[in-house]
Amino acid sequence: MDQLLMNSGFPILSVLIFLPLAGALLLIFVKSEQLCRYLALVVTSLVALLSLRLIAGFDITTAKFQFVEQHTWIKAFNINYIIGVDGISILLILLTTLIMPLCVLASWSYIKTRVQTFMACLLIMETAMIGVFVALDLVLFYILWEAMLIPMYLLIGIWGGPRKIYASIKFFLYTLAGSILLLVGIIWLYATNNYSFFIPGMMWQNYPITSQIYLFLAFFLAFAIKVPMFPFHTWLPAAHVEAPTAGSVILASILLKMGTYGFLRFALPITPEATVILMPYVLWLSIAGIIYGGFTALAQSDMKKLIAYSSVGHMGFVTLGIFVLNIRGIEGAILQMVNHGITTGALFLCVGMIYERTHSRELRSATGVGKYMPIYITFLAFFSLSSFGFPGTNSFVGEFMIIAGAFQFDTVLHKFPYLALASIPGAVLAAAYMLRMLQKIIWGGTNNPDQSWITDLNSREIVVLAPFLFFVLWIGLGPQPFIDLMHTSVTQLLQQFDAHQAHSIAAAGSLFQ
Amino acid sequence: MLFLPELTLLGVGLVFFFLSLGEPSSAKVKNVAIALSALVVLVTLMCLKSEGELFYKAYRVDFFSQLFKFLIALATLIVLIFSDQLPGVKEKIQSEYYLFLFVAVLGLMMLVSSVELLAIFVSLELSSFAVYIMVPLRNKASGAGTQVEAGIKYLLFGVMATGFMLFGMSYIFGLTGSTQLFVIADKLNLSSTQPAAVVAIVLVLAGFFYKLALFPLHFWVPDVYEGAANETTAFIAAVPKLAAVALLIRIVALINTETEVIVNILVVCALLSMFYGNLSALVQKDAKRLLGFSGIAHAGFVLVGLLTLENTGYAAAMYYIIGYVFMNLACFLVICTVSDKGRNVAIEDFTGLHKRAPLLAITLTVGLFALAGIPPFVGFYGKFQLLVEAFKQGHLLLVILAAVNTAIAIYYYLSIVRVTFCTDSENRGAIISSRKNNVLSVLLIVIIIVMGVLPSKFMELTTTAVQAVM
């Protein structure tokens, strides 16, 4: 229990978790659609404001879990309600709380049917997502992790595009099937750890190596599907394409992060030896994802699909950063998780705004709008540049750190940067497909459809996009405060890891040659 | 006092016997039935704490039996409330229908208290025969001829299972010279490695496998579920299963922990049940058939708790079956309400339900997600408990395969949710759900969520109950 720190009398995390849920319950009694929208906006904004308190009270000099709350929940199984934040999760929580009000705003006019249910789904999602990031009890984590599927399924299945049925069921089945073995792993951990589900208590326990490998594989299946890593990515394009804009944004910005968060929170500390043994495979899968995502995105004519495949590539960078297992890589990965959330979320919003006007996601029908939508393409240009890691934008910092980490990993192991070199084409491909999209949308060609009727962004849409741009530039130009937040936790994670691993890293190196 | 719930039921049965002499309207009979059923619930609640033995120790009243009696009464009341005026049963014979229903309940209540083989047999038959008759009482308009076939099938399979059970009982008597469960438990421990003892116990279990719809005695399920009136199916799908689990717990407690053969047989039955039920449910079009197959799979899950041969495992099984009854009733409530004049409900009939009856749609969705074992509903917590208990006893493969089954099952539950929530109503009319149905829906949803999120209190209940068995 020494990993916990109670530095706040006010149960801020519980408030963040339960406020949206209370909002969702309140929605049941609201009859007017407009009132539903306002209520959801107020609740999510309130949560966002309250979450800022986390930064104010966060102590960056300790790697312990902070703002901890602890209550007995189910005594017979020693299940407790324990929640806390550390440097790894704090940015993801803030990302979640800050994006949700924007999702509500983005759905303001897009969602016309069953507004009440829609907003309730969004709010329940928020509860579950924040809960997943702060849960320090495995059962609590698993319950929220699974419970998230229901509102997300409904978001895609009810308000989705033409193939929503196929996409929503595929999403549900894929993710559920992935986390089934996670449940078995959780029960194994429970039985092995003196019947306790306390997550920090399970870390660094020197489990037998074969158990670790099975456990790692169970974790891997669940998290790799969520990330999604190549070759478990096939649900993602379907889900992204069919989901309504807010659904796509939540999916891209937050849900995908849960997979990589899972690797950092569970796979590394609980199964360190297995991580080292299986690391090469994960790394090469990441590289495969980067390249595959890039090439596939290049071939898309559907804007949402293009961004969905680009996500596969970007998330490949994140897993690459995590599994090179050095400070630059992991910090870069966490930063890149946030960056991807911001940039891809914003890109989905941009596509959604075009879709609201042209009712098509085809690149063909959106060509040449630059002349009529100057504000829109300004935003779009920034986000596109950010997406392929243009210097000065947020993704540049993240990708740079990850590739630097990969170089460092290579030099420690075998003098030649196989891994870093292999990931470079991904960055080039990203530039190619984003610029292609940008070029077509802004200028297009000689046979552009007539776009003169199209209207530029209204003030609500500008309000939605502006915060994203703010963070794109802030993280791009001054990333230090963000890295400071995570630095102590990541250092601590790696120290513990190295203490366990000093010898096995070298052994694993031989797998590469 | 010890026998009060049973006596009350006997009285209720008599009331309906006299009612059946006249020709009262179905609304009137219904009100009487609900009122009397509520009375039974109250009586069982009053007798919750009573303890004692009756009839030369053949009949044991303990917290375990009383809790089950309360649940049986409660489930019956719920079925009666949402079954409205029995649109699926001929109007003329509704009094008789209730008569048989309450006799069946009486049999089940006696069953959970029986600790002697003959008492078990008599009460099991009492409940079974009443239900055998209830199945073909469906009217021709809604049943379209399937009800008679269902009735015959139910009867024949039931008689066969009873035959097995009697045969097993005769072996047990031969081996131990007693019909008292407690005496048998002592004596059988010495000789349980004998093949005869194994055969005897397995055969006795078979009788209850039939009630619980467990593989390999599940064959009656799809046809009976489909052929019986919706209200009857709701009753069959929920109430007898409670009693079956109660008795299974009493009998499995006889097994010596060292008898691996029986445990292995149970493991195989559990797995086959889950796979058979879930895989067959994937292709069903009729809502009741689908729930029937899903019930087979759930019976497999219950068995996972029993085969741990530990008190905590029994408690988990008990928790699960209680949860199952509520989730199942939530689904049947919707089926009965959606049904047009008592006809069967195809999955398509739920089209656009979110618009036609929002509350029903939510009830159905909660029920289905709970059955699928998605948190935060009771289905998840029940499964979780069972898996943990099985894991503790070293059944790793069973745990993994059971978990895999959850993933298979989600597909067919989702396919109903999809129709309910993600389709337009296509000019299907709104469904009027009475106020008491609405209250009941909300109540069931609350129970399903509370049992899933705050299970501590309920677990204490099941644990104390199971301890009372020993």
Strand partners, A302: A362
For residue B21, the distance in angstroms to the closest alpha carbon of chain A comes to 49
pLDDT band at B396 (very low <50, low <70, confident <90, very high): confident
Burial (Cβ within 10 Å: 0-12, 13-18, ≥19) of residue B426: exposed
Considering only CA atoms, which of B140, B104, B143 is closest in space to residue B124?
Answer: B104
Spatial separation of the C-alpha atoms in residues A317 and B125, rounded to whole Å: 67
Most confident range (mean pLDDT) of A421-435, B187-201, B318-332 is B318-332
Domain assignment of residue A128, yes or no = no
Provide mean pLDDT across the span B274-278: 91
Range of the domain at B265: 4-469
Spatial separation of the C-alpha atoms in residues B399 and A271, rounded to whole Å: 21
Mean pLDDT of chain B: 86
Is A17 part of the contact surface with chain B (CB cutoff 8 Å)? no
Residue type, A20: P
CB proximity list for B262: less than 8 A, separation 6 or greater: B198, B201, B202, B255
Spatial separation of the C-alpha atoms in residues A125 and A145, rounded to whole Å: 10
- Return the pLDDT at A507: 52
CA distances to B5, B37, B46, B73 from B42, rounded to whole Å, are 9, 9, 6, 9
Is A147 part of the contact surface with chain B (CB cutoff 8 Å)? yes
DSSP letters for B379-429: HHHHHHHHHHHHHHTT-HHHHHHHHHHHHHHHHHHHHHHHHHHSS--TTPP
Cβ distance of B376 and A73 shorter than 8 Å: no
Task: Report whether B86 contacts B30 (CB < 8 A).
Answer: yes
Q: What is the dihedral of CA B247, B250, B256, B262, to 10 degrees?
A: 10
Residue B61 pLDDT greater than 50, yes or no: yes
Spatial separation of the C-alpha atoms in residues A362 and A240, rounded to whole Å: 14
Residue in A143, A193, A211 to test binding to B, most B beta-carbons within 10 Å: A143
| Two tokens, residue B162 | 């009873």
pLDDT band at A21 (very low <50, low <70, confident <90, very high): very high
Considering only CA atoms, which of A84, A78, A66 is closest in space to residue A197?
Answer: A78
DSSP character at residue A265:
I
User: A476 phi and psi, to 5 degrees?
Assistant: -70, -35
The pLDDT > 70 percentage for chain B reads: 98
Nearest residue on chain A to B424, alpha-carbon basis = A158
Reported ipTM: 0.87
Grouping H, G, I as helix, E, B as strand and the rest as coil, residue A40 is: helix
Spatial separation of the C-alpha atoms in residues A130 and A133, rounded to whole Å: 5
Task: Report whether A105 contacts A463 (CB < 8 A).
Answer: yes
User: B276 phi and psi, to 5 degrees?
Assistant: -60, -50
Residue A288 pLDDT greater than 80, yes or no: yes
Residue B192 pLDDT greater than 60, yes or no: no
DSSP character at residue B339:
S
- Return the pLDDT at B408: 87
Provide mean pLDDT across the span B408-436: 83
Task: Report whether B237 contacts B328 (CB < 8 A).
Answer: yes
Range of the domain at A386: 271-502
Number of compact structural domains in chain B:
1
Residue A193 pLDDT greater than 60, yes or no: yes
Q: Could you write out the three-class secondary structure of B292-337? A: HHHHHHHHHHHHHHHCCCCHHHHHHHHHHHHHHHHHHHHHHHHHHH
Is A21 part of the contact surface with chain B (CB cutoff 8 Å)? no
Provide mean pLDDT across the span B162-167: 91
Cβ distance of B385 and A173 shorter than 8 Å: no
Cβ distance of A76 and B456 shorter than 8 Å: yes
Considering only CA atoms, which of A85, A318, A100, A101 is closest in space to residue A224?
Answer: A318
Residue A386's CB is within 10 A of a number of other CB atoms, namely 29
| Two tokens, residue B264 | 């292995």
Spatial separation of the C-alpha atoms in residues B200 and B203, rounded to whole Å: 5
CA distances to A121, A161, B146 from B343, rounded to whole Å, are 34, 34, 11
Residue A509 pLDDT greater than 80, yes or no: no
Tokens 């089209």 appear where? B351
Burial (Cβ within 10 Å: 0-12, 13-18, ≥19) of residue A369: buried
Task: Show residues of chain B in contact with A188, CB under 8 Å.
Answer: 391
- Return the pLDDT at B191: 55
Provide mean pLDDT across the span B225-254: 88
Task: Report whether B247 contacts B116 (CB < 8 A).
Answer: no
Task: Report whether A286 contacts A320 (CB < 8 A).
Answer: yes
Number of compact structural domains in chain A:
1
| Two tokens, residue B24 | 């009262």
A-B Cβ pairs (cutoff 8 Å, strict): 81
| Two tokens, residue A232 | 């478990």
Q: What is the dihedral of CA B130, B136, B137, B141, to 10 degrees?
A: 160
Task: Show residues of chain B in contact with A180, CB under 8 Å.
Answer: 403-404, 406-407
Task: Report whether B455 contacts B376 (CB < 8 A).
Answer: no
Residue A324 pLDDT greater than 50, yes or no: yes
| Two tokens, residue B348 | 């398509």
Residue B183 pLDDT greater than 90, yes or no: no
pLDDT digits (tens, 9 = 90+) for B343-354: 888 888 888 888
Considering only CA atoms, which of B116, B401, B80 is closest in space to residue B267?
Answer: B401
pLDDT digits (tens, 9 = 90+) for A145-155: 988 888 999 89
- Preceding amide of B216 cis, omega within 30: yes
The dihedral region occupied by A48, where left means phi > 0, alpha psi between -120 and 50, and beta the remainder, is alpha
- Return the pLDDT at A513: 43
- Return the pLDDT at B458: 86
Task: Show residues of chain A in contact with B384, CB under 8 Å.
Answer: 139, 183
Give CA A367 to chain center in angstroms. 30
User: B273 phi and psi, to 5 degrees?
Assistant: -60, -50
Grouping H, G, I as helix, E, B as strand and the rest as coil, residue A68 is: strand
Buried b (16+ CB within 10 A) or exposed e, A401-412: bbbbbbbbbbee
